[in-house]
Each structure stands twice: as structure tokens, then as C-alpha cells.
Amino acid sequence: MRVDFPYPDVSPLEIPEGNLLGVFHAPEHPPADDVAACVSRALDNPIGSPSLAELARGRKDALLITDDYTRQTPVKEIIPAVVKRLAAGGLNPSSIKILVALGTHRSMTEGEKLAKFGEDICRNFEIVNHDWRDEKSLVEIGVTPGDAKLRINPVAANADLIIGIGQITPHRIAGFSGGAKIILPGICGASATAHTHWIGGTLPGDKVLGFVDNPVRDEMNEAARLARLVFIVNAICNTNGQTIEIVAGNVVTAHRRGAEIAREVLGVKIPRQADIVIVDSFPKDIEMWQAAKALYAADVAVRPGGALILVSPCYEGVSKSHPLILERGYKTEKETLAEVESGRLTNLMVASHCLRVGRLIKDKAAGILVSSGIPKADAEHLGFIHADNPSQALEKAFSIVGPNASVAVLQHGSELLPVVG
């Protein structure tokens, strides 16, 4: 069977029918016919919350915290609708700012802002990039249940009304993205972000990915309360980035409803774990830090002792924000835990990422990488087996696992929620 990849420079792959367990992708869900109408419907029927107009009454200003270039949230439709309702509550639109919740991602360029927000929003509103490295400017607002000091962006600390705008997809650390995640790690400093990443990294992936109740989400929800996030607008999109539904309202209850929808939209049943799993990371393609989301989905689908093939361009390499990943490479779980416990590895954000990926490609299965953005030497230093194309990668996988190995293909794996059995 021929399998195509969502990248023009990646050649198709022929998989012998006798080996193919299946090609798995999210169920077909038609996108919303009118995204603006979908947004309005959600805002006019908030879940567990007063309306935006009610929340705006008596407020001197408002801050819209949005996700960044790595997400497909339809902010061009959401922001004008939010502003309209805030104005109906008496808030002057000139008092509204936009803060981009970058977490530890690099800053958005002016071109990326224009592409995401559109010319009108860029012209009419101040758009500020969060800088997680600028610890001196961050404002401490409290402590999480796990005893992490919470420092947030000063723009948010001084805002009168805070609204979060994001996207809900399965997430290896938080169970699902969206909701309170716009605060932690979205606009926080390094210590709290590292703390939650480490908690999530030490938990088994099959107990976190796709589950809204978990210790990391508890940390995030408390962070949102401390930061005074009172309202969210979250999109649920299909794997092509098309909007399926919008939820709005209370940080916790609206997010829970959105997670239920996301599970329906992005969940896919797989009959059993495969010997070989092939996964692309579309649309999380910019770097390995993002593309690893596809690995976490594949972790659920590959059997211990199998092989895993990741196909992702990683245009910006491994990680511009976290160069230590490439310097260090991926090691076994035992090695990473030992480095953290001994104090030789103190960056818990990097440690968590390396723990999750290393546990998969060093302990559980052989990791094979097809990526135009990560040279062979870098791929091998990381701990992957390099392949020039998917066909070569599959040949190497068969040589490791055996010629009769079963093969599963996960399409658009970075936003997929595999359910085995």
C-alpha cells in the first residue's frame, strides 16, 4: 500500500500489504461552515461563567492571552468577537492588549504575528511576546500545590480582566492542551514551567495523554486561579487545522467540555500495538521540541522491542530555545534520572523532554528519524538512527524487528490520540 506524507519533499512509501496493520488517522469530522458564527455561539452560551459583557462591567482594561505560531487557533475570528462583547460591557477597546503565551518557545516574528492575527488586529492592538527568560521583570503571585513559585508576565500581573484564547489537543504533559495551560507554562517563568514538565515527564504517557484529570492539570488550574484568569475561549480543530467547535467560559468546566470534544475528534482506535510504527508530526513541524508530540502518540502504538519511524522536517532543527537537548542527546531513563538526582542535569524542562523521548527511543523501541532539518550527525548524536527517506527507514526497521513485522502508520501524529484495543 502506498502511504503519502504531508511534506512535498518527502517521497511516498510502499508498505507490503502482508505487513500492514493499518493506516490510522482521526475520524472525519466536517469543519464548521462559519467559524465566526461558531465563535459567537460559544461566547453567547458560556459554560459555567457569566458573559463577557458582564465580566467587563466596571473594568478599567483587559488582556487577551493567546497561543503562538505553533497552534492553529482561529484568533482572527475569536478576537474581534471577544472585543465586541467586552465593549458591550462598557470596556474601551483601546484599553485591550494582547499577550502571546510563548511558554519557552522563541518569540514570534512580525511576519508570524501578521499571519496569525491579521493586519487589522496587528494595527489596532498592542501585541506583546512573553519572555520567560526575563526573570527580573516577572511578578511572583503565589505557590502551586506542588510548591513551585509562580512568576508571571508583568502585563498579566497588572491587568484588570484576563481572558485566555487557545486550542485543545491531546498533550503528553497536561493531558490536553488549552484551558489553564495558557497561564502555566504560557506566561510563566522557567522554574514553574520546569516543575510541571518534570512532573508530567515522570508519569507514564498512557496515564496522561488524553486524560484531563492528572497532577499537572491540577498545578495549571491553580496557577490560572492565582493569575486571575476568569474566562477562556478554546478551539477544537481537526488534524488539518480546520475548526470543528469552540468552547468558552469557566477555565475548568469549559476546558473539560472542550477536552471531551477533542477526544471525539482526535481519538483513533488501534487494534493492538504494532512492531513498527511510522508517524509524521504534522502540523508540529518547526523543531524536534514540537515534533516530539508525534513520538508521544506513537509511544502508545508501538510494542516494546519494536521500531519507531518519525518523519518530520524540523525546519529549525532540534530546539532554538533549548540547545542543551542537542548538546546532551537522548539517553536511557536510568541515565537521565541519575543525572537529575546527582545534580549534573539541573534544567528540568530539558530533562523532562529528554526523559520522555529517551524512554521511548532508547529503552522501548529503536528510533529512526527522517528529517531534512536535522543532519545525520545530529540525529545520531541525539540517539536516533538516521534515514534519508521513509523507504530507507522502513528497510532499517525491518532489519531490526524482522521481515514479518507488523506496521502501523499514524497520520498527523502530533495531534492524534491513539487508543489501543
Give the residue numbers marked as catalytic. 105, 171
CA distances, 338 to each of 145, 192, 199, 333 (Å): 26, 22, 16, 8
Please check whether residue 291 is in contact with residue 285, taking contact to mean a CB–CB distance below 8 angstroms.
yes
C-alpha cell of residue 257: 467540555
Return the SS3 of 180: helix
Is 51 in a helix, a strand, or coil? coil
Eight-state DSSP code of residue 332: -
> Ramachandran region of residue 282, left (φ > 0), alpha (ψ -120 to 50) or beta?
beta
Contact 121, 79 (CB under 8 A): yes
First to last CA, the chain: 23
Instruction: Return the percent helix, strand and coil in the chain, to nearest 5.
Output: 40, 25, 40
Separation CA 407–CA 415 (nearest Å): 20
3-state secondary structure of 280: strand
DSSP-derived secondary structure for 183-241: TTTTTB-HHHHHHHHHHHHHS-GGGTTT-S-SHHHHHHHHHHHHHTEEEEEEEEE-TTS
Closest to 79 (Cα-Cα) out of 254, 248, 265, 256: 248
